Amino acid sequence: MDLKGKNALVTGSGIRLGRAIALALGKAGCNLALHYNSSVESVAKVKSDLEKMGTKAHVFQQDLEDINHVQDLMGRVCSEFGHIDILINNAGIYPSGNGKSATPEKISRVFNVNLFSAWLLISAFAQQLPRDMQGKVINISDSKVFRYGTDHFSYRVTKQAINAITAMFALELAPNITVNAIAPGTMLPLQGFEHIDLQVVADRQIPLRQIGSPEIIAQNVLHILSQDFMTGHVIRVDGGEFI
C-alpha cells in the first residue's frame, strides 16, 4: 500500500507506542485520526507535531471501556475523513493480578478496552471501507503471552484473544483487507516501575542484549503496511526474549 494520502486511525495515540506509530504514519504521508481517552495534553502535542509536518490530523476522544459506543468513534472519524484506510488497534490497559484475585468487574473492564473495542472497531472499519478499496488493520499484542505466566491474568487473556481474532478476521476480511498484529517485547518501563534499569533486564533475559523502543514498533508498522501478500500473522518484535 502506498501510504501517501491514506487515512489512518490510531487508538491510544497520545503516548508511548501509539504516539510513535502516529508520528511515523504522518511522516510517511498519512492523514491521522488521533484517538485518546484521557491524555489530552499528550495527544494535542502529537497533533501539533503532525501539523508541523503538513499532515492533516484530528483528535477524537472515546472511552473504549464503554463498548456500547465504541463504534460511534468510527462514525465520527468517517464524518471528518470520509473513510479510513488503516486501523491501528493500539490502546490497552495493563492491570496486575492473578486469576484468583480477578473479579468479573475487573476483568470486564480489561476485556472491553483491550479486546472488545478492537473487535468492534475492526467490524466498523470493514463496514465503512468502500468495496473497491484496500484496507489494513494492525493490532498491537504482546510477546509475553507466548510464554505462560500467572501475572497480569486478564491482560494476558485479552492479548491471547487479540492474536486469535487477528487470524480469524484475516480470513473473514480477505481479499480486500489484511489483518496482522505486532507483539512487542520489552520497550519501556511500566508505569510505577520507572526506576528499573531496563539494560540490566536486557542483559539478563534478552538474547540480543538490548531493549526495544516505540520507534522500532513504528518501523514494523510501516513494514507491514507495505506488504500486500501478508495477512493473519503476529510478528514478535522482542529481541528473542520469548523464543
In a domain, 2, yes or no: no
**Between 128 and 97, where is the model more confident?**
128
In a domain, 242, yes or no: no
In a domain, 187, yes or no: yes
Side chain identity at residue 120, one-letter code: L
Domain residues for the domain of 56 are 7-236
> Long-range contacts: 18-21, Cβ < 8 Å, 24+?
18/88, 18/90, 18/91, 19/46, 19/214, 20/213, 20/214, 20/215, 20/217, 20/218, 21/88, 21/90, 21/214, 21/217, 21/218, 21/221
In a domain, 215, yes or no: yes
Predicted model pTM: 0.96
CATH number of 56's domain: 3.40.50.720
- What is the pLDDT, as a whole number, of residue 214? 96
Average pLDDT, the chain: 95
In a domain, 1, yes or no: no
β-strand partners of 31: 7
In a domain, 204, yes or no: yes
Say if residue 135's pLDDT is above 80: yes
In a domain, 157, yes or no: yes
* 190: confidence class by pLDDT, cuts 50, 70, 90: low
Say if residue 191's pLDDT is above 80: no
Contact by Cβ (8 Å): 35, 60: yes
- Provide the number of structural domains found in the chain: 1
Kindly report the number of other CB atoms within 10 A of residue 68's CB atom: 8
In a domain, 241, yes or no: no
Query: Which residues, other chains included, contact 102 with Cβ-Cβ below 8 Å and sequence gap of 6+?
Result: 153, 154
What tens digit of pLDDT does each residue of 213-240 get? 999 999 999 999 999 999 999 999 999 9
- What is the pLDDT, as a whole number, of residue 194? 67
Say if residue 99's pLDDT is above 80: yes
Q: What is the DSSP letter of 68?
A: G
Q: What angle do CA 52, 217, 150 make, to 5 degrees?
A: 135
What tens digit of pLDDT does each residue of 146-183 get? 999 999 999 999 999 999 999 999 999 999 999 999 99
